Structure 1
Amino acid sequence: MVLMKKNVLDFNDFNASILDDVHEFVGKRVSLQLISAVNVDPAGESTLSVTFDWDEDIGKIGAFLIRNHHHSEFYLRTLTLENVPSQGDIHFICNSWVYPSHKYEKDRIFFTNKTYIPNETPMPLLKYREQELENLRGNGRDELKEWDRVYDYAYYNDLGDPDKDINTESRLNLLQSLDIYVPRDERFGHLKLSDFLAYALKSLVQILKPELESLFDNTVNDFDTFEDVLKLYEGGIKLPKGILKDIKDHIPQELFKEILPNDGEGFLKYPLPQVIKEDKSAWRTDEEFAREMLAGVNPVVIRRLEEFPPATKLDPEVYGDQTSTIRKEHIKNNLDGLTIDEAIIQKKLFILDYHDALMPYLRKINSTSSKVYASRTILFLQRNETLKPLAIELSLPNPEGDQLGVISTVYTPDEQGIGNSIWQLAKAYVAVNDSGYHQLISHWLLTHAVIEPFIIAANRQLSALHPIYKLLYPHFRDTMNINALARQILINAGGLVETTVFPAKYAMEMSSVLYKDWIFPEQALPADLIKRGMVVEDSTSPHGLKLLIKDYPYAVDGLEIWFAIKKWVKDYCSFYYNDDDTLKKDSELQSWWKELREEGHGDKKNEPWWPKLQTRKDLIETCTTIIWIASALHAAVNFGQYPYAGYAPNRPTISRRFMPAKGTPEYDELVEFPNKAFLKTITAQLQSLIGISLIEILSRHSSDEVYLGQRNTLYWTSDLVPLEAFERFGKELAQVEERIIRRNNDEELKNRVGQVKLPYTLLYPTSEGGLTGMGIPNSVTI
């Protein structure tokens, strides 16, 4: 039996180590009892020691009960019964905290790694299977404690007064923020860098943020030159000794050494972001600006332009005339001899469009210190497969009222003088839109937030014995914990996201409102690409899809990953479900899907687009989509944060003033000192430091990360056919990685590396720990 004591995980838990030794000395140990999968024992329970004397009457082993008589909890990783007569070795994959027995009404149970759909479960195990699910669902009334294992729903509401609403999650103060309830088994593991993550984030909010704010009270709040920005990666900032002492007194010494080596000398000295590692200025080129829409940290928004001028879906009765003011005259001379109609027919025009998403919020956002536009950017696909930006439209609501429409200005590329300075600013305003949308929608909403209801519903309705639970379990790891931490420190009112991203106090409201556009089946990569007009169906192309931009790194690599996942899921599901009728009669599976739609994503319960989950095809597509969101999609929008946005001028998150008008001092400054004016417009120094500190933490892999195609145990199932299929899946992913490396070395593929010499590695399946810019973890772990 492999277990760990609590004190292994804690920075210091005196009571756990001393009292457990006392209990062991007086003979109070851990008791276990085997449960037969074939015979019912009418005589009731008996307690056996960890070394079992074999009784032939027990027959096939199905589970064991465990009772903890220790003072504190321990983590039970596995139990293996070796040389069981006529059964060989029997494996129990536990991965669970076992608390003292007085914390539970019933003893803890763990099943073997055998897999059963409900109606095939051996009769003696049925009551334990059902009882365990009842325990995990809880009673919906009691306040949940650390040792509870209950999965349930509560609304996140940090927009009003959550403590007055019994249906919402209570707000904890900052000192309690790491104690927010999640089921104990969902908390981070002891090797995980995220143990440090939790303390690092808390320290960032509780200590560093206020100390930095006080430090910057008496200093200029801007970078004056790009050289000033580069100093962050060369010498860092030396903190006053008083601040160092405050930090040292409030966090564990292990963490102090981790985030403040050399006693704080050169504190806030950041690793050099990859986007400026080879070339310090290539990020400013139009080529790189466009390339990052296909191979950057947010490559999931660009779409094909199908009508000109670009259309709007905003209600004209509420928002007036929102028609784009981009005209043929702005772009007609940059289409390689094509007319606009010809370029649209030939599928050569694309758009990065944040107009409709942001316009309803601009008046609110611009009442804060942010000064933001809603943007539309039109791009042309050139013969070498790169995109050329043609025009940027920046729009504001009419100052006389929303119903009067917008005031818009269109900017076009200019390589000289003040025209170039204005064009660089226009691109910066687009980057601000893209950064905020990325963080709040592409990243938080469309991966972290939407996946959590699937996790809760699965734990409430699918037994650990269920094949679909075993399929999806690796893709749930750590997500509830990181989301709980985010709700307390990152996305909370006054939290780090509001501090560093332009929607400020409207961030969560905007994210919640845009959830109305979420459609689960469209999160499948092929469906998403079809919706955005980035592929066309073509029976002669691999998987029946033809990319309109052949060199679209996210899509090229992503489709290979997607179809590898789908093949694995199909092989797995087909083993347990021979036909659709078996699936329809699977009571746990149907309960899971019903609860997911009606409670987990209850706002969407009446939507007609939900798969019915009545066929194997539905099940395969559904599980593939869940795995894709939790693994590859999250990797694509998370682990590139520091490589691309660690250099704030490349991806500013805030704009603090509008485009300068001719005849103003700001315009004169733009003429005379264009770089200084640029830096005074984008994210201020303080917000940059906090933001870079945050994304450096969030872009790291833990040392014990488990990547797509891997499991943390060889014995996760006893069924050989799924094990063989999983082995094939791992080999296919290794081949995908080899092909990605070859593509990155192909100089004909201009979008793979770009002028910044940053290869697209975000969908490499594997990685080492740390800040690598590659690797697909199984789940949303950070």
Structure 2
Amino acid sequence: MEYKVTVATGTSEYSGTNNYIFVTLVGEKGESERTMLDNPGLDFCRGAVDDYIVRCAADLGRLILVRLEKKKYWVEDNWFCNYVKVSVPGEISSHTFPCYRWLVGDGVMVELREGTAKKLSEDSLPQEIAHRKAELQERQKTYRWLTWAPGIPKCIDCKTEADLPQDVRFDNEKRSDFVRSLHIALLELSLKKLAIKFGKSWDDLDDFKRIFWKLRSPLAEYTMEHWREDGFFGYQLLNGSNPRMIKRCRALPSNFPVSGDMVQSSLIPTTTLKEELKKGNIFLVDHAIVDGIPANVIRDQKQHIAAPLCLLYEHPEKGLIPIAIQLEQKPDKDTPIFLPSDPPLAWLLAKIWVRHAEFQVFQVLSHLLRTHLVVEVICVATLRHLPAVHPIYKLLTPHLRFTLEINIRGRTQLISPDGIFKRVVSTGGEGLLILAQREYEVLTYRSLQPKLDFLDRGVTKLRGYFYRNHAMMLWDVIQNFVSGIVSLYYKSDREVEKDAELQAWIKDVAMEGFVDVPHFGLASELKSKDELITLLNVVIFTSTAQHAATNNGQFDWCAWVPNTPCTMRQPPPRDKDAVTMGLIMDTLPDISQSCVQMAITWHLGRAQPDAIPMGQYVEQYFTEPAALKVIDTFRKELQVLEEHIMAQNEGLELQYLYLCPSRIENSITI
């Protein structure tokens, strides 16, 4: 018997190898001889697809495994294998064995299952069952849980990204670009001799334009021109980097004593505040979660934090506009309520304080905690409990790509005790952890489901809420896709209940990953297909659309520093009439802090050069025609949605494009 074996090497930098590669075919009736594949040093180049013949004395029967081994030829040289295909004599189609793994080290060996997705109950041969068990045992030794800090979800047990297995590391191009891009941004500002001006205030608001040089975007420039406008302020609460805070207000909070007379001039003449509350046209953004957070100390200077409440009105002509702002949670004679009718600089500074709170909440809570760290729990549990042949592993893996490394980098470089947040952000240091713990005290699984979240916040009818509209459409498209895949492999609720690997996975998610999140509300077992579909929908939506909504606009909304300042250097004003331009400049970030804010938001928010767009599965874990058809339908629905979103935006002065599928990355990689 002669089997044709095709071996595909990865296409990223350094994927190829000059080492010896051996293959053994394992079938129901026996194994082939261990066969050395030809031409060490010549084959297995980056991107190569090489064909070989493996001879056997007899028919191996149904193929179960392909065993690959790598031995040092001259020097140790890692190898990334995409897949192996085997053509069996007498059969029309070949069998694909997905790999998408690194072989690292001399004498390393991997065994690959044929690409057909199978649950544990569908494996009958002892070799198949033993392979699943051995794979998970090895993974559970490699991927372990760690409590990074009390009161927040668990994470991967690695001190630095260098401790991660090569299979979940950035590829070389991604790693080089990640390091280089931040250096480029900081170097550009250093060359202008601005980043070294610690503690020095800008002289005037126009001086912030001095850091707009090569680092710019059309939306960042639009923000620079329009950031003072009340309508633009309201727009950002709907479609900026933190579009999840606004809620319908049916009754004013007891700690926000706004009277009808105060805001009457902001309403249309024929109505009252009481009437508009009843109609559902009044909205609230409440940053109570940052109340009492200890402020950072930067270069011996204490920074300042406020916990503002902002009342907004959906004006029939002007759109959503702010009508009252209180900068502290406890009203008293020294806590004024700022109004649009106040002196212009006082009203402007009040809005800046709201935007400052927005920076803290969107960076730490909406972005880092509610996307990155939530998905990390899923990632670790998936690696620990779902073998590569499992259909749910195949579904989720492309949406978990690079997430472990970017999260470790975030913990060590961004939010660590000596990270970037500690150097320039008012909640950096101790405050950041307290803020995170507060968020997880109230985080719910329900709030990660956009349809329920919009319903609970009472914003299903709010006009101009493009984030909501596009998120709802994406949720439906993802649900169609997930439902299609799940229905291929689970014909009934009972099959979900009886899948031991799947149940071990959800138990690990709920009882390990989210064990310190008291009100999360995710059950530790799955009892139906619908429950499984909803959870997978949450995971894919969070790792794609929700991350894009909170990450991709960072530079657009934060590059013009006065619009969304990372820190405030003076306390909130107590006297409206005492607000001067000098006070505003002394309150806003200093020159050095402004430079770092601009650089880091560009670095994190820019389009990634190696990004894989949503729905593009370059690593083909599924091989069955039925699954590939579902994926193809998913791509077509995303393309239709893309065209619909682009048509909606045509002619708009301020376009909302963050949730265009082509601009959404398939996983959290930044």
TM-score by length of 2: 0.88
Q: Which runs of 4+ in 1 moved over 4 A?
A: 4-7, 167-171, 199-209, 211-214, 362-368, 605-609, 659-664
Compute the displacement of 1:758 (Å).
3.3
Distance, in Å, in 1 between the alignment partners of 2:550 and 2:576 is 41
Amino acid at match of 1:600: G
Compute the displacement of 1:395 (Å).
1.1
Compute the displacement of 1:205 (Å).
9.7
Larger CA deviation: 331-340 vs 497-506 = 331-340
Asked if 1:707 is matched to 2:645, the reply is no
Aligned length: 639
Q: Do 1:462 and 1:592's aligned partners in 2 also have CA atoms closer than 8 Å?
A: yes
Asked if 1:75 is matched to 2:80, the reply is yes
Q: 2:67 — aligned with what? A: 65
Distance, in Å, in 1 between the alignment partners of 2:613 and 2:203 is 42
Q: 1:98 — aligned with what? A: 103
Any idea what SS the aligned residue of 2:59 has?
helix
Compute the displacement of 1:614 (Å).
0.6
Amino acid at match of 2:276: A
Residues 40 and 455 (structure 1), Cα distance of their counterparts in 2 relative to 1, 3 Å cut: farther
Compute the displacement of 1:35 (Å).
1.9
Aligned counterpart in structure 2 of residue 760 of structure 1, from 626, 638, 656? 656
Amino acid at match of 1:155: T
Query: What per-residue deviation string (whole Å, max 9, x for no partner) do you get for residues 695-737 of structure 1?
Result: 1111123333111121104x43222222112111111111111
Aligned counterpart in structure 2 of residue 119 of structure 1, from 93, 103, 121? 121
Distance, in Å, in 2 between the alignment partners of 1:469 and 1:298 is 31
Distance, in Å, in 2 between the alignment partners of 1:509 and 1:633 is 23
Q: 2:54 — aligned with what? A: 53
Distance, in Å, in 2 between the alignment partners of 1:406 and 1:136 is 60
Compute the displacement of 1:468 (Å).
0.8
Query: What per-residue deviation string (whole Å, max 9, x for no partner) do you get for residues 366-422 of structure 1?
Result: 996212221000001122471011100111679xxxxxx9953200003xxx70011
Q: 1:718 — aligned with what? A: 623
Q: 2:602 — aligned with what? A: 696
Asked if 1:780 is matched to 2:668, the reply is yes
Residues 776 and 341 (structure 1), Cα distance of their counterparts in 2 relative to 1, 3 Å cut: same
Aligned counterpart in structure 1 of residue 208 of structure 2, from 229, 232, 238? 229
Pairing of 1:422-441 with structure 2 (within 5 A): 422-441=346-365
Q: 2:143 — aligned with what? A: 151
Q: Percent identity?
A: 23
Compute the displacement of 1:213 (Å).
9.6
Q: Do 1:60 and 1:87's aligned partners in 2 also have CA atoms closer than 8 Å?
A: no
Distance, in Å, in 2 between the alignment partners of 1:7 and 1:276 is 34
Residues 460 and 662 (structure 1), Cα distance of their counterparts in 2 relative to 1, 3 Å cut: closer
Distance, in Å, in 2 between the alignment partners of 1:294 and 1:584 is 40
Q: 1:542 — aligned with what? A: none
Q: Do 1:325 and 1:409's aligned partners in 2 also have CA atoms closer than 8 Å?
A: no
Compute the displacement of 1:779 (Å).
0.9
Pairing of 1:271-350 with structure 2 (within 5 A): 271-278=215-222, 280-308=224-252, 310-311=253-254, 323-336=255-268, 337-350=270-283
Q: Do 1:431 and 1:653's aligned partners in 2 also have CA atoms closer than 8 Å?
A: no
Asked if 1:743 is matched to 2:648, the reply is yes
Compute the displacement of 1:3 (Å).
2.3
Amino acid at match of 2:201: D
Q: 1:495 — aligned with what? A: 419
Any idea what SS the aligned residue of 1:68 has?
strand
Distance, in Å, in 1 between the alignment partners of 2:665 and 2:470 is 16
Q: 1:523 — aligned with what? A: 448
Asked if 1:550 is matched to 2:466, the reply is no
Q: 1:580 — aligned with what? A: 493
Distance, in Å, in 2 between the alignment partners of 1:645 and 1:591 is 42
Compute the displacement of 1:602 (Å).
1.6
Q: Do 2:306 and 2:572's aligned partners in 1 also have CA atoms closer than 8 Å?
A: no
Compute the displacement of 1:508 (Å).
2.4
Residues 360 and 85 (structure 1), Cα distance of their counterparts in 2 relative to 1, 3 Å cut: farther
Aligned counterpart in structure 1 of residue 22 of structure 2, from 31, 40, 45? 31
Distance, in Å, in 2 between the alignment partners of 1:532 and 1:552 is 13
Asked if 1:563 is matched to 2:491, the reply is no
Q: 1:485 — aligned with what? A: 409
Amino acid at match of 1:574: S
Residues 663 and 530 (structure 1), Cα distance of their counterparts in 2 relative to 1, 3 Å cut: closer
Residues 396 and 574 (structure 1), Cα distance of their counterparts in 2 relative to 1, 3 Å cut: closer
Residues 92 and 507 (structure 1), Cα distance of their counterparts in 2 relative to 1, 3 Å cut: same
Q: Give the superposed CA RMSD.
A: 3.1
Residues 120 and 232 (structure 1), Cα distance of their counterparts in 2 relative to 1, 3 Å cut: same
Compute the displacement of 1:84 (Å).
5.2
Q: 1:460 — aligned with what? A: 384
Amino acid at match of 1:151: Y
Any idea what SS the aligned residue of 2:293 has?
helix
Compute the displacement of 1:88 (Å).
1.8
Distance, in Å, in 2 between the alignment partners of 1:119 and 1:231 is 64
Distance, in Å, in 1 between the alignment partners of 2:275 and 2:303 is 40
Gaps of 5+ in 1: 10-16, 139-149, 160-166, 172-176, 235-269, 312-322, 399-404, 536-547, 747-752, 767-774
Any idea what SS the aligned residue of 1:78 has?
strand
Query: What per-residue deviation string (whole Å, max 9, x for no partner) do you get for residues 292-342 of structure 1?
Result: 11111111111111212x25xxxxxxxxxxx22323332234332323332
Q: Do 1:445 and 1:511's aligned partners in 2 also have CA atoms closer than 8 Å?
A: yes
Gaps of 5+ in 2: 1-6, 38-51
Query: What per-residue deviation string (whole Å, max 9, x for no partner) do you get for residues 597-645 of structure 1?
Result: 1111121478655374110110111100111111100000001011221
Aligned counterpart in structure 2 of residue 413 of structure 1, from 331, 340, 353? 340
Residues 382 and 397 (structure 1), Cα distance of their counterparts in 2 relative to 1, 3 Å cut: closer
Distance, in Å, in 1 between the alignment partners of 2:324 and 2:195 is 41
Residues 89 and 702 (structure 1), Cα distance of their counterparts in 2 relative to 1, 3 Å cut: farther
Q: Do 1:151 and 1:459's aligned partners in 2 also have CA atoms closer than 8 Å?
A: yes
Q: 2:176 — aligned with what? A: 195
Q: 1:510 — aligned with what? A: 435
Aligned counterpart in structure 1 of residue 563 of structure 2, from 636, 646, 650? 650
Residues 223 and 375 (structure 1), Cα distance of their counterparts in 2 relative to 1, 3 Å cut: same
